[in-house]
Every structure is written in C-alpha cells, then in structure tokens.
C-alpha cells in the first residue's frame, strides 16, 4: 500500500524550532519529487516546500530562509526543519508525493504544529 | 505572484451538475488539477492534467481548462461529494493553490 506518514508536530514557542518527518512506503521514494503543504484551521491549502529527486529545493517567500526541506532516500524519509517559527506557521502540515502531471497523488494524514507561548 | 481564484461556495441539488471554476492569468497555458477534501481528512486528487481522472475516481468527475479558467464538473452529484475543492497549478517552480470552494449538496 502506498502510504505517507508524518510525525514530529507539537507545541512550540514563537522563535522556536521543530523538525517534521514523513515516512514513505509502497513506492520507490527516490524516484519522486516530494512536497510539504500546510493548512491552518478553517483555511485553505498552502504550499510550503518541494524537493526534487536530485535534492534541488524550492520554497515560497513566506518560509524561505526559515524552513529547510531534505530527504534521506536510504530511509525513505522526507523532512522539514522549521526555524524562527511564528504564530502564522500554526497549521496541519502534510507531506505529498508528486505524480503524473505534477499533481500531488498521495498525501499523508498530516501532523499538527502549534506555535504559541 | 500568481493567483488562482475560486468561488467560496457552490450549491447543487442531488442528481444535478455542479461546476466549480478556477481563474488565473493564462491558466489554460498551464496544467490544472483538483483536490477534494472532506472534513477532518487529507486532500484527495480527483483531476490532474486538466481532465484526467486518477484510478478510483468516479466518472462523474470531469475537468476542463481553457483561456483563463479551469472548471471541475461533477455530473449527477451525490451527497458524498459534499466537500471542499481546491484547484492547483504550477507557476514556474512554485505551486499555487486556489482558495477553495465549499460544495454543498442540498
């Protein structure tokens, strides 16, 4: 079964750091670009970062310089290091696999990140 | 930055056809895809490359994309189709989502 399972979410103070993980199974992880997408409660989807099969990375302006996406193909794992966290980063964070047509064909269940004092 | 605009809500009667639009500058020159998200669940891809359905997605879901507008059409809408729907496209190396449309099946 193709599956993505996120972990590492929790409560963190403003200015703090958190590292999210995403464990992939059921497909050849190293062959696909991967992404992080977040969703604040009651709000829409927001793309957070992408990493290509060659390790190239991409970010929107809202997180560039604060977030770092990485992957460890030997462990079928995707990561998101989040630094200098703000209240506005509070959201459910999903990892997603990029498939045909550059659409996200597989999503994890999400992990909640709360930034609050 | 590139923006995709969706109506906040669309209502449809059971058995009727629902159309959800997604507007963006020259969107027809890009591929659009659509996700369905039910409360408390992760998004599910329902349309990719403008009009293709992933395996397991019912035939009542279809899509089109031309000019500045992509459209998700649900024919013979069922109560189970009530959900939030998001369009998505790529702008160079960035991913852009529409704001989402809440589909209500009355």
DSSP for A82-104 reads E-S--GGG-EEEEEEEE-GGG-E
Chain A residues closer than 8 Å to B93 by CB: 50, 58
d(C-alpha A7, C-alpha A20), whole Å? 6
Substitution target from B3, B40, B42 for chain A, most A beta carbons within 10 A:
B42
Average pLDDT of the residues in B69-97 = 97
**Strand partners for B91:** B94
Task: Locate the chain B residue with the closest alpha carbon to A41.
Answer: B40
Closest by CA to B1, choosing from B95, B76, B80, is B95
CB burial of A68-107 (b: ≥16 within 10 Å; e: otherwise) equals bbebeeeebbbbbebeebeeebbbbbbbbbbbebbbbbbb
Q: What are phi and psi of A41, to 5 degrees?
A: -55, 125
- Reported as a single tens digit per residue, the pLDDT across B18-34 is 999 999 999 999 999 99
**pLDDT for the residue numbered B43:** 98
Opening angle at CA B29, ends B58 and B98, nearest 5: 60
- Reported as a single tens digit per residue, the pLDDT across A65-109 is 999 999 999 999 999 999 999 999 999 999 999 998 999 999 999
Task: Locate the chain A residue with the closest alpha carbon to B47.
Answer: A103
Substitution target from B95, B99, B102 for chain A, most A beta carbons within 10 A:
B95
Chain A residues closer than 8 Å to B83 by CB: none
CB contact under 8 A, B49 and A100: yes
Chain A within 8 Å of B55 (Cβ-Cβ)?
no
User: For chain B, what percent of residues have pLDDT higher than 70?
Assistant: 100
- Reported as a single tens digit per residue, the pLDDT across B67-77 is 999 999 999 99
Task: Locate the chain B residue with the closest alpha carbon to A108.
Answer: B42
Q: What are phi and psi of B41, to 5 degrees?
A: -120, 165
User: For chain A, what percent of residues have pLDDT higher than 90?
Assistant: 98
- Reported as a single tens digit per residue, the pLDDT across A23-59 is 999 999 999 999 999 999 999 999 999 999 999 999 9
| Closest by Cβ to A107, choosing from B33, B42, B90 | B42
Q: What are phi and psi of B30, to 5 degrees?
A: -115, 170
**pLDDT for the residue numbered A82:** 98
Task: Locate the chain B residue with the closest alpha carbon to A44.
Answer: B99
- Reported as a single tens digit per residue, the pLDDT across B31-53 is 999 999 999 999 999 999 999 99
């Amino acid at each position: 079964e193709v599956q993505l399972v996120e972990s590492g979410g929790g409560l963190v103070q403003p200015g703090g750091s958190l590292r999210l993980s995403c464990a992939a199974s059921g497909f050849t992880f190293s062959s696909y670009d991967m992404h992080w997408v977040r969703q604040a409660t009651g709000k829409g989807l927001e793309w957070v970062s992408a990493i290509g099969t060659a390790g190239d990375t991409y970010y929107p302006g809202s997180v560039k310089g604060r977030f770092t996406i990485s992957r460890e193909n030997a462990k079928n794992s995707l990561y998101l290091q989040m630094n200098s966290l703000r209240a506005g980063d509070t959201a459910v964070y999903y990892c997603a696999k990029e498939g045909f047509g550059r659409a996200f064909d597989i999503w994890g269940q999400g992990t909640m990140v709360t930034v609050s004092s | 930055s590139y923006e995709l605009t969706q109506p906040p809500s669309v209502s449809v009667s059971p058995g009727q056809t629902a159309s959800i639009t997604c507007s963006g500058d020259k969107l027809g020159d890009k591929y659009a895809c659509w996700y369905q998200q039910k409360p408390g669940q992760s998004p599910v891809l329902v349309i990719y490359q403008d009009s293709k359905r992933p395996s397991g997605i019912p035939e009542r879901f279809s899509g089109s994309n031309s000019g500045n507008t992509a459209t998700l059409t649900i024919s013979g809408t069922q109560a189970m189709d009530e959900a939030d729907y998001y369009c998505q496209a790529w702008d160079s190396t960035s991913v852009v989502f529409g704001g989402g449309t809440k589909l209500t099946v009355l």
